[in-house]
Structure 1
Amino acid sequence: MQDSRPAGRQFLVRRRFALRRTPCLVLMALACGAAAAQDSGVATLPTVQVLGEGDNTTTEGTGSYTPRATAASTGLPLTLRETPQSVTVVTRQRMEDENMLSLVDVMSSTPGISVQNYDSERYSFNARGFGISNYMYDGVPTNFEVGYAAGESSLDPIIYDRVEVVRGATGLMSGTGNPSASVNLVRKHANSREFAADMSVSVGNWDTYRATVDLSTPLSASGNVRGRIVSAYQDNHSYLDGYQNEKKIFYGVVDADITSRTTLSVGFNYQDNDPKRSNWGGFPLWYADGGRTDWVRSLNTGADWSSWGSTTQGAFASLEHRFENGWTVQAVGSHSKNEMDAKLLYLYGWPDRNTGLGMGTSPAWYLGDRKQNSVDLKASGPFTLFGRRHEAVVGASFNRQYANFDYREALNAAPMGNFLDWDGSYPEPDWSDTSVTASRYTTKQTGWYGALRLNLADPLKLIVGGRYATWKTDSVGFGGGDHTAFDKSEFIPYAGLLYDLNENYTAYVSYTGIFNPQSYQDRNGNWLDPLEGKSYEAGIKGEFLDGKLNASAAVFQVEQDNVAQADPGYMVPGSVNQAYTAAQGTRSRGFDLEVSGEVMPGWNLAAGWSHWTARDGDGNAIQTDQPRSLVRLFTTYQLPGDWNRLTVGGGVNWQSHVYTIASGPNGDERVGQGSYAITNLMARYRFNRNLSAQLNVNNLFDRKYYSQIGFYSQGAWAAGRSAMLTMRYQY
């Protein structure tokens, strides 16, 4: 949203950092210890699996925290050990154990991913120092502007089998984008040939109520046609005064085996978010005298009438055929539509410490939608050359995205009055009958991609490929001005070399090109050149217990030119938009450590430690508003013997400090949030094979911290301690 105050970044501090081998050794020692425990003769619990025919990537029903395979990085279904990039798969079991209720919950617990919220409805996700702009649904790319949020970060995970996150540059599969990560949301399918039901009711503090139903059934006597519906309803208040949200989710899919080797899937998804008293921006960080504020956590700057409603809906059809020679061809067509209707109030300025006067108001009404039509074609399979078996994938994707967001002006905005008495009862203004364009654009992307996985020797594999991407954009900015027309194309190379050190460990190196057209302008109104660069990664991956436990240690370096950085104090001529400069010679480097899976029977673990640092060509630290270091840990343990009905678990999410430069009454000032850790707990008791109860407690120690600080020189508190009890019935 051009007027919705996209986050600006200021960068001042210099830091130096040296990678050390110790973390890698610690991680691998943990994995080796787990393998030794398994080999000591402890019995393995049976695993229940619900799989589609020929599908080895589905995580639902496996009870695992790690996947058997993923195609997210190269388009080929490979194990994590065979994939020469840092990959995290948040499985169905982990989503259920942590009671993840939105994409924000998923990303907040994913190794290497940091989350920032701009206000009550808008969130951004970041990795390796850069914002994540690549999103995919079942492997089909899409993108969106955070400013014009239309329910993307509020997506409910209940309809997804897994969320695949590939960190680093992902040009082979997604084409354009930042070298941060790609997020692939993979929908559930109707895989069960028998009737199955999964229903739950939940209650939590802040008057939170939730009910879900997930039903699968054969639609033909033989089970070759199967159907599934997933639905959820949630009504909750919040730690923020007056805030309430009601959301409704529906998903339906039919999977039909036309022949024993051909499957047709057709599905539809819908989610409606109806929040009340949404806020736009945060609270003032200073009083008018320059002293820092310390508001109560429940302060909500939204008005009683403000709301940022959104609706997300989509439909898809997929046809897959599996040949006898091992090759598979797939065609996917999809349509999506995201709508928003946002009546908002922005408060700015600094209140007097005694009278509360001095704040200004800016009401606004934004509404519009974003639509996308996509087609993706892919073929993959084995071939023999020089007496060895290799694999190949070739594909093409085409998508067209159209967005049109309008703005209505407030005609008679009332004065703010005493902010110290603020309770949201600010009168709603009259709105103009005439809408003006806030943002309108059409973007067409095509991608032709291919990759070969060459078996050079028994321990040595080479993956080479690339994508030829085209990007055409035609857009106008606020008020119908600032016309932009891009027509860019680029070949994005990809290469990875893997060497099996022994039966458990594989060393790898990989390289990926970076290409990302930008819609930023400088202080003279000129458009910045596309972001270009290179991403390198090297590491070791370990696989243990027949793939039930995976571990990885990686170092990476990203080199880029034309990285957009806010130009403090300058706007684009003739607009209210922030001006940007293009930083040259930027470099981001760091490491990722991760372990996921079953450490020993009944003990699941997902843990990651990541660190990065980034500087521009002059050696200045950049992206300082994002945490350099992250630790993500969650584990569950099913008690043995007579206590085996009980599963207990918990985790910690820790991040290092962040800072930025904000403008206050005394001029520019450094503001930040120190490092902090959030502790979460869970416990589940299974009464019988059908009925269970689960309790989740988040932010156990009620830590008070900024969820964002410095965004337009304001701040916002994160949620305090919360708890939710869920009763679940499975048949």
Structure 2
Amino acid sequence: MHIVLRHIPLRRGALVLQLALASLSMGGMAHAEQAPASVAKDGQTLGTVTVTAGATGPTEGSGSYTTSASTSATGLNLSIRDTPQSVTVITRERLDDQALHTVFDVVNNTTGVSAKEIDSVRAYYYARGFQIDKIQMDGIPMVGGNAGESQADTAIYDRVEVIRGATGLMSGTGNPSASINLIRKHADSKVFTGSASLSVGSWDKRNGVIDLSSPLNAEGTVRGRVVISAEDKDNFIRLENTRKTLAYGVIDADLTPDTRLSVGFSEQRDRHRGNQWAGLPIFYSDFTRTDWDRSTTTAASWNFWDTKQRTAFATLEHRFANQWKLQASSNQRTNSGDQRLNWMDGVVDRNTGLGLEPWIIGYGVSDKQSDFGLTASGPFELAGRKHELAVGILHGEHKTLWLSSDASVLPPIGDFRAWTGAYPEPNWSPYQTGSFNRDTQTSAYAMARLQATDALKFIVGSRVTNWERKGDKALWTAEAFKITHNGEITPYVGALYDLTPQTTLYTSYTTIFDAQNYRDKRGVYVDPLKGKAFEAGVKGELIDGKLNTSFAVFHIKQDNFAIPDGNEVIPNTREQAYTTTSGTKTKGYEFELSGELARGWSASLGWSQFNSEDGTGKDINTAHPHKMLKAYTKYRLPGEWSKLAIGGGVNWEGRSYAEITDPRNGKTVQVGQDSYAVASLMANYQYSPQLSLQVNVNNLFDKKYYANQIDTFKNITFGAPRNVLATLKYQF
């Protein structure tokens, strides 16, 4: 990628600042191809200065909707064009422009990925018809989703990299959906810098963020960064209030010119009060469809769900003189949740509002995860050509404890039409162990990029994994169990051919092995998912790397695919039980472009479409849409209006539905959401280089739609109505 600074009026010292900022934004690996003969005087114009980027680096400060490279797919530092899978990078610029404050917001605006809420804390993510069951943090897969992970604050991340397709090569176990890799911010600045922002919005939302970076010694070889965020907001759903606090700190130290140590810690706490769980009834007692106001809730005023996410990490990296890099990493994560909730079961009489019964639950969850890794990567020469190799050894342990508390008997709900949440809180029994599982995974991988000719490259590799899950006898598990899979091999083969210096054809193949977290009607985990994934396409790197484009087709075959088992539930819970089916097939295609279309005009546009069937030809995973369009653009006005930037976008998705049994006759009926679109607008006014005001409007046309995955609890929740957020930001 080239950044060209052409005929820019610069005052004394500004050239040095421009080059320093360019170097920082590209990971400190820029060099000047052409420099002026002398420093300009005040008001003079310099000649052309070209800066060339090397490896990928932070997107913060780049002003771009794309980036030059990614390591998330293969462990190799490859450009997006040279990665033989579909890659989307949500840069810091897009995170800020669209005010994407949570991981859910990011995923909901990513090409080819469907995000559906379960309640105010949890969400399911799907891509290419399959669930994304792991989110990565700096390449480390995080297991779990019941302790607020979908609502994790994005203030501490530089970018989010999404690799669609099978991801087992880098995660050990994985299905053919996608990987979502959250890349943390680091302390890269050798001068004091930072920003502070204050946001206010609909439903009394108030959000503040402080982000500070500073050198910690005179030489700037030891640097620190702190990010603090706090939020308090109500919701369009009655009774709901959320308070969130986030603290993140990282120290980056250059122990030598070639050795870097990073140590950091983050903690996020979410306090939910009056929050709804599971959703609203779909049918009246006469089995006609309900049509609730979006503010309707089944929650009691005492409902709560508190979550806490803690992560500590350390990374030691050394670069050798031969351009090889050795990295050792450790990641410790503890996420927990505590909840007391009222839900309602049954069907409502349209005329009396009667028929619902209380369903009271008390749950606690604790996820503890430890990961250690040792990786190495670098170039080597063979047959007169330069190639690249990456190898790694990884070990991880994950423990999940679920606790359950029973509630005393409560009076009937009464007329739901008059529900205000004023309902007595029950007496809670001591916690019992619902389940306790321990997962252990040890794996090793090797991946090589082989330059066969100037135009032809091969990417080949494999991963071998030993995986084990142990479970104790508990309330939801009839007996202790142990599941072991040793020597699971995940091969990966990719080929790329450069049609032109800007255009590449590619294809890739890998296998699938995923230890699923679904339980059957006995409370036993279903067998691991196995299969094969194929992908082929064409990628373009245009306008000197400022714009990335791609078109891909994919074909996936799977066995032991988990599907809902009718109306069966997991013992002693209200959660859906699953069974498995084999011979499933998915075929589809995707298109995406992201980056700068012209000076001051950035855009991201993505379309995805697929068909997914079981072995009998029946459609599966219909609770998520099979067609989606995600589009967003921003334009900074020229000339005298250059302080103003305007933007907007639209997310469209096709029909999604779940099959539900009609209690009157036992027949299956489809309940779902027809195709719909949600639009957004943004305006940003830059009062000065330091101060800006931004206004975001979401759901511009106030579309009413179902936002949840209906087949989970066979209830419905609604997407947020039109809402506004104003953000005042100061950078220093």
TM-score for the superposition, normalised by structure 2: 0.91
- Counterpart CA distance in 2 for 1:77 and 1:94 is 23
- CA 1:572 to 1:314, structure 2 compared with 1: closer, same or farther past 3 Å? closer
1:669 deviates by 2.2
1:573 deviates by 7.3
- Counterpart CA distance in 2 for 1:385 and 1:662 is 60
Alignment partner, residue 561 of structure 2: 563
Is the aligned partner of 1:222 residue 2:219?
Answer: yes
Q: Indicate if the aligned counterparts of 2:445 and 2:461 stay in contact, CA closer than 8 A.
A: yes
Alignment partner, residue 539 of structure 1: 537
- Counterpart CA distance in 2 for 1:521 and 1:114 is 23
- Counterpart CA distance in 1 for 2:572 and 2:245 is 41
CA displacement 1:121-148 (0-9 Å, x = unmatched): 111110000110122111112221x4xx
Q: Indicate if the aligned counterparts of 1:57 and 1:77 stay in contact, CA closer than 8 A.
A: no
1:483 deviates by 2.6
CA displacement 1:152-201 (0-9 Å, x = unmatched): 00100000011111001011101112210011111000000000021001
Q: Secondary structure at the match of 2:110?
A: coil
1:411 deviates by 1.5
Q: Secondary structure at the match of 1:104?
A: helix
CA displacement 1:284-311 (0-9 Å, x = unmatched): 1111112211110101211100011100
CA displacement 1:559-612 (0-9 Å, x = unmatched): 001101122144567886644332111001100100001111111111100001
Alignment partner, residue 700 of structure 1: 700
Is the aligned partner of 1:461 residue 2:444?
Answer: no
CA-based RMSD? 2.0
Q: Indicate if the aligned counterparts of 1:504 and 1:543 stay in contact, CA closer than 8 A.
A: yes
- Counterpart CA distance in 2 for 1:108 and 1:293 is 26
Is the aligned partner of 1:167 residue 2:164?
Answer: yes
1:519 deviates by 4.6
- Counterpart CA distance in 1 for 2:648 and 2:576 is 42
- CA 1:424 to 1:44, structure 2 compared with 1: closer, same or farther past 3 Å? farther
1:521 deviates by 5.0
Counting only pairs closer than 5 Å after superposition, residues 537-616 of structure 1 correspond to structure 2 as 537-571=535-569, 578-616=576-614
Identity value in percent:
44
Alignment partner, residue 637 of structure 2: 639
Q: Secondary structure at the match of 1:705?
A: coil
Alignment partner, residue 308 of structure 1: 305
Q: Indicate if the aligned counterparts of 1:659 and 1:672 stay in contact, CA closer than 8 A.
A: yes
Alignment partner, residue 687 of structure 2: 687
Q: Indicate if the aligned counterparts of 2:445 and 2:462 stay in contact, CA closer than 8 A.
A: yes
Alignment partner, residue 44 of structure 2: none
CA displacement 1:237-260 (0-9 Å, x = unmatched): 111011110000110000000000
Counting only pairs closer than 5 Å after superposition, residues 207-286 of structure 1 correspond to structure 2 as 207-286=204-283
- CA 1:365 to 1:80, structure 2 compared with 1: closer, same or farther past 3 Å? same
CA displacement 1:611-645 (0-9 Å, x = unmatched): 01101111111111110101001110111111100
1:414 deviates by 2.6
- Counterpart CA distance in 2 for 1:267 and 1:215 is 14
2:191 to 171, 185, 194: 194
Q: Secondary structure at the match of 2:95?
A: helix
Counting only pairs closer than 5 Å after superposition, residues 143-542 of structure 1 correspond to structure 2 as 143-144=143-144, 146=145, 149-432=146-429, 434-476=430-472, 477-479=474-476, 481-489=478-486, 490-522=488-520, 528-542=526-540
- Counterpart CA distance in 2 for 1:368 and 1:581 is 25
1:379 deviates by 0.4
The range that moved more, 83-92 or 281-290, is 281-290
Is the aligned partner of 1:92 residue 2:89?
Answer: no
Alignment partner, residue 3 of structure 1: none
- CA 1:435 to 1:104, structure 2 compared with 1: closer, same or farther past 3 Å? same
1:510 deviates by 0.2
CA displacement 1:252-295 (0-9 Å, x = unmatched): 00000000010000000010000111111111111111221111
- Counterpart CA distance in 2 for 1:421 and 1:523 is 36
Q: Indicate if the aligned counterparts of 1:337 and 1:371 stay in contact, CA closer than 8 A.
A: yes
- Counterpart CA distance in 2 for 1:390 and 1:697 is 48
Q: Indicate if the aligned counterparts of 2:600 and 2:635 stay in contact, CA closer than 8 A.
A: yes
Q: Indicate if the aligned counterparts of 1:346 and 1:361 stay in contact, CA closer than 8 A.
A: yes
- CA 1:519 to 1:251, structure 2 compared with 1: closer, same or farther past 3 Å? closer
- Counterpart CA distance in 2 for 1:613 and 1:311 is 38
Q: Indicate if the aligned counterparts of 1:90 and 1:106 stay in contact, CA closer than 8 A.
A: yes
Report the residue type matching 1:582 in the other structure: T
CA displacement 1:488-546 (0-9 Å, x = unmatched): 13000001000000111100000011001235455577753321100000000000122
- Counterpart CA distance in 2 for 1:330 and 1:205 is 45
- CA 1:543 to 1:221, structure 2 compared with 1: closer, same or farther past 3 Å? same
1:439 deviates by 2.1
- Counterpart CA distance in 2 for 1:43 and 1:115 is 44
Q: Secondary structure at the match of 1:158?
A: helix
Q: Indicate if the aligned counterparts of 1:658 and 1:672 stay in contact, CA closer than 8 A.
A: yes
Report the residue type matching 1:65 in the other structure: Y
Alignment partner, residue 724 of structure 2: 723
1:481 deviates by 3.0
Report the residue type matching 2:591 in the other structure: L
1:548 deviates by 0.9
Is the aligned partner of 1:659 residue 2:660?
Answer: no
Alignment partner, residue 27 of structure 1: none
- CA 1:153 to 1:113, structure 2 compared with 1: closer, same or farther past 3 Å? same
1:443 deviates by 0.6
- CA 1:652 to 1:43, structure 2 compared with 1: closer, same or farther past 3 Å? farther
Report the residue type matching 1:67 in the other structure: T
Q: Indicate if the aligned counterparts of 1:664 and 1:713 stay in contact, CA closer than 8 A.
A: no
* Unpaired segments ≥5 residues, structure 2: 11-17, 30-54
- CA 1:257 to 1:166, structure 2 compared with 1: closer, same or farther past 3 Å? same
The range that moved more, 450-459 or 274-283, is 274-283
- Counterpart CA distance in 1 for 2:257 and 2:525 is 53
- Counterpart CA distance in 2 for 1:469 and 1:623 is 28
Report the residue type matching 1:299 in the other structure: T
1:424 deviates by 1.1
- Counterpart CA distance in 1 for 2:350 and 2:575 is 31
Q: Secondary structure at the match of 2:267?
A: strand
1:480 deviates by 5.5
Alignment partner, residue 58 of structure 2: 58
- CA 1:431 to 1:687, structure 2 compared with 1: closer, same or farther past 3 Å? same
Q: Indicate if the aligned counterparts of 1:655 and 1:677 stay in contact, CA closer than 8 A.
A: yes
Q: Secondary structure at the match of 1:64?
A: coil
- The answer to which structure, 1 or 2, has the higher relative contact order (CA under 8 A, 6+ apart) is 1
- Counterpart CA distance in 2 for 1:153 and 1:575 is 22
CA displacement 1:341-371 (0-9 Å, x = unmatched): 1111121111111211110111111113111
Counting only pairs closer than 5 Å after superposition, residues 5-44 of structure 1 correspond to structure 2 as none
